[in-house]
Structure 1
Amino acid sequence: MGSIDRILDKALQGERIGLEECIALFESDQVEKMGHVANEVMKRWHPEPITTFVIGRNINYTNICDVYCRFCAFYRRPGHEEGYVLPDETIFQKIQETIDVNGTEILMQGGTNPNLPFSYYTNLLREIKKRFDITMHSFSPAEILKMKEVSDGLSLEEVIRELHEAGLDSLPGGGAEILDDRTRSKISKLKGSWRDWMDVMQTAHKIGMNTTATMVIGFGESMEERALHLLRVREAQDECIANKYPSAGFLAFIPWTFQPDNTNIRVERATPEEYLKTLAISRITLDNIPNFQSSWVTMGPEIGKLTLSYGCNDFGSTMIEENVVSAAGATHKVNIGSTLQIIREAGKTPAQRDTKYNILRIFDENARVERDFVMQN
């Protein structure tokens, strides 16, 4: 049996793979074998042939940013004539439109805007929660760190607690890119170390907030850096479980590929095969994270369909609005109808979920009816 077969067999037996084994998988081209094993691992968590999705909206409340990531085509520097901060009323209108189509989640993200005081965020969250029953799955670690910077001396934990009390429900994993400082210093020198990103997430876990984790490949990072990224996420999840934090930690993992169009980085775009391989290896390595999201926004619906046999149990958000990734040349938009169609074409039953992965509605094609039920938390 070859070394790749041995590693994959080990994963099938429920044993944990280590750094060198993870690197070996990344260096291998046996993508279909990895996909098969990732799918078997996924079935341990999710034996039913159901693929979930959430109806959510991205609201990019500001594009003003002082981190200047080389890979971002969305931001505008402070003082730029195209910089904006959305009026509160516009944000409320976008949330109402989301609720009107049975949406349950708002992913509010923007730049690290040095002109917004910490009170801007807490006041906005309170006003949103006064008006709407909606989950705020918002603000990346980089934004949280900027809030700490402008908060007049609050600790990281105090900042996250105040946001949570004001109405922030969970944190998305944006800004992880590659959790290794060699690549981070090349692509986003001012964004902070991988440890800074992880400190935000682990502090959120400690106070009872769930989060997600992401990974972006295709910056020219080494296979070792990709493997280290996965092991660092796995270790943080281990700590959350071992310390019995009042949180499930990372509820989901979402890998995708860097979109180089309109950015300041010149690299060859990662192939669909590279993405599917990364997805499979992530599912195999991250044995303590229950949910994996397909990245159809960057890869398109056809690859999105394939992800459901490469370890994904979730199709992510219908994303009524998305401006950051699309600014970098990814323009795949999927509405609720085509989400259902793609999931069914992959041989799965679609189901709407909430941010905590509780199923809200199963779309039963055979009966042609929607069966509503609530699962106990």
Structure 2
Amino acid sequence: MRIAEWQGEVERLMSARDPALAPIVAKVERGERLTRDDGLALFHSSDLLTIGRLGDLANRRRNGDRVYFAANQHINPTNVCVLRNTCVFCSFARMPREEGAYTRSLEEVFAEADAAHDNPTREFHIVGGLHPKLRLAYYLEMFRGLKQRHPDVQIKALTAVEVAHLARIEHLSVREVLQAMREAGVTSLPGGGAEVFSPAARATIADKKLTGEEWLAVHREAHGLGIPSNCTMLYGHVETMEDRVDHLLALRALQDETGGFLTYIPLAYHPDHNELGEALGRTGTATSGCDDLKNIAVGRLLLENIPHVKTHWPMVTPFISQIGLTFGCDDLEGTVVFERVYHEAGAGTPMWLAYDQIIELIRGAGKVPVERDALYQVVRTFEDWVPGQTMARPQGPQGPTFEIQHRARAQGRGGRKLPVLSSAVDGAE
């Protein structure tokens, strides 16, 4: 093949296979902000490689070859939740007397956190259910106790839904709850509970939860107090492509206003052990690898004002997450000791990854591993990592592993029964 022919073939391969993406390619190359129509074109397109190339370009402009990760530990103090029968996509929650329900005492939480003494933990990620009897004082004492025992570990705690719940039962404002959390040692908020902001989708999957506007309002209040946060979108259930784009644009608008979001995390729905999965007739993995990668790339392209995009490997597998590092993602989450919420929904991924496994996944993608804390301050850059420096397996209060007790399916449990959702599902494919 002549040089001119070879160059022409390369240009053809690098150009968009889907003509609808050609103007978007030009916009991204010029660094222009994408529109709602652009977002819809990206989600509806099957030209995954072009979408991934654009996401990678947008990420490299902002983050170069750096990929962040955290030595973090997940703590779920309780799975008892007043929304148990209405958040039909959730497999984690239990009613107080339901089999598998638990609530940790503070001493049990502190014992679980003690794994941080023997491991390079930099962040506690604390979320749980909306327990009807756990008051704000329980959480504040927990945060203070953790900071006293682990002064160098940052605390990222309580979703917007949990914050609003505590404000309601304590007859306080959201701002007052956030101020108390900050004074007790909370560094940032996680991004969970957003699901998808579409009122129609929320009416099906979580009709008693905070509305999208209420979720945004909690994060707006946090940002106003100097508490940064993450943001998320749950995809792969009953949402439409329009729902996805509108959700991302709402996040972008708040970021324009406050600048308080640190990272965006697309979260893949898991259908096992919940009512929604039963109504949809789904088991196993609800999303495809292509959709997982597309959500990473489109998130990076539409949310150009949010510094980081994280792939949550417990939901999509470490290997999809590794590929995602070339689709616009610059954060591989972390060691995640021990994750329960998505494993209750049937996630077959490990409960944790060792330190060197994270580093090798990043290096295998041709990227530079950078350990961070909860605020994306650099702890260490691994330019010359020597394999084999494995992090010891943490020992929690129940022994070397935590048992996952999958709850029963919907039949006979008094949960909210859903109609056949074929028309809604069509929009999510």
**Superposition TM-score, scaled by structure 2 size:** 0.81
Q: Which amino acid is 2:306 matched to? A: I
Distance 1:61 1:234 in 2: 31
Distance 1:226 1:85 in 2: 34
Equivalent-residue separation in structure 2 for 1:218 and 1:93 (angstroms): 36
Is it true that 1:28 corresponds to 2:45 in the alignment?
yes
RMSD (CA atoms): 1.7
CA contact (8 A) 1:138 1:171 kept: yes
Q: 1:70 corresponds to which residue? A: 88
Displacement of 1:123 in angstroms is 2.0
In 2, are the aligned partners of 1:64 and 1:78 still within 8 Å (CA)?
yes
Decide whether aligned partners of structure 1 residues 148 and 366 sit closer, same or farther in structure 2, where only a CA change above 3 A counts: closer
Corresponding residue number in structure 1 for 2:359 = 340
1:368, CA displacement in angstroms?
7.4
In structure 2, which of residues 372, 376, 380 is the aligned counterpart of residue 357 of structure 1?
A: 376
1:265 equivalent to 2:276? Answer yes
C-alpha separation between the residues in 2 aligned to 1:183 and 1:6? 31
In 1: Cα distance, 2:203 partner to 2:123 partner: 33
For 1:78-89, list aligned pairs within 5 A.
78-89=96-107
CA distance in structure 2 between the aligned counterparts of 1:224 and 1:66, rounded to whole angstroms: 30
1:195 Cα offset (Å): 0.9
Superposed CA deviations along residues 310-332 of structure 1, whole A, max 9, x for unmatched, are 00111112101010100101121
1:94 is matched by which residue type in structure 2? E
How does 1:46-195 map onto structure 2 within 5 Å? 46-47=63-64, 49-68=65-84, 69-133=87-151, 134-151=153-170, 153-195=171-213
Q: CA deviation at 1:367?
A: 7.2
CA distance in 1, matches of 2:51, 2:379: 31
Choose from 298, 304, 309 the match for 1:292: 309
Contact kept in structure 2, 1:53 and 1:352, CA below 8 Å: yes
Q: Percent identity?
A: 32
Which region of structure 1 is more displaced relative to structure 2, 68-77 or 282-291?
Answer: 68-77
Residue aligning to 2:33: 16
Asked if the contact 2:156–2:186 (Cα under 8 Å) also holds between the matched residues in 1, the reply is: yes
TM (norm. structure 1) is: 0.92
Could you tell me how far 1:149 is from its partner in structure 2? 1.2
Aligned-pair CA distance for 1:191: 1.0
1:39 aligns with 2:56: yes
Rounded Cα–Cα distance in structure 1 between residues aligned with 2:374 and 2:70? 7
The answer for the alignment partner of 1:374 in structure 2 is none
Q: Is the 8 A contact 2:334 2:358 kept in 1?
A: no
User: Secondary structure of 1:352's partner?
Assistant: strand
1: CA distance, partners of 2:386 / 2:241: 47
Aligned residue in 1 for 2:425:
none
State the AA in 2 paired with 1:73.
S
Unaligned runs of 5+ in 1: 242-248, 371-377
| 1:305 corresponds to 2:305 | no
Q: Distance in 1 between matches of 2:386 and 2:126?
A: 36
Task: Give the superposition deviation at 1:366.
Answer: 6.4
Aligned to 2:333: 316
CA distance 1:326–1:45, change in 2 (3 Å): same
User: Which one-letter code corresponds to 2:163 in the other structure?
Assistant: I
What SS does the corresponding residue of 2:208 show, helix, strand or coil?
coil
Q: Compute the displacement of 1:147 (Å).
A: 0.5
What letter matches 1:275 in structure 2? D
1:369 Cα deviation from its structure 2 partner: 11
The unaligned stretches of length 5 or more in structure 2 are 1-15, 390-429
Contact 1:320 / 1:335 at 8 angstroms: preserved in 2? no
Using the TM superposition, give the Cα deviation of residue 345 of structure 1 relative to its aligned residue in structure 2, in angstroms: 1.1
Alpha-carbon distance between aligned partners in 1 of 2:226 and 2:245, rounded to the nearest angstrom:
28
Q: Deviations over 1:268-304 (max 9, x none)?
A: 5111101111110110000100111112111112211
CA contact (8 A) 2:191 2:229 kept: yes
Deviations 1:128-186 (A, max 9, x none): 222221211011111111101111x2111111111111111100001111122111111
Q: Give 1 or 2 for the bigger CA radius of gyration.
A: 2
Q: Is the 8 A contact 1:114 1:146 kept in 2?
A: no
**Alignment correspondent of 1:246:** none
Does the 8 Å CA contact 1:298/1:330 hold for their aligned counterparts?
A: yes
Q: Does the Cα contact within 8 Å between 2:190 and 2:230 map onto a contact in 1?
A: yes
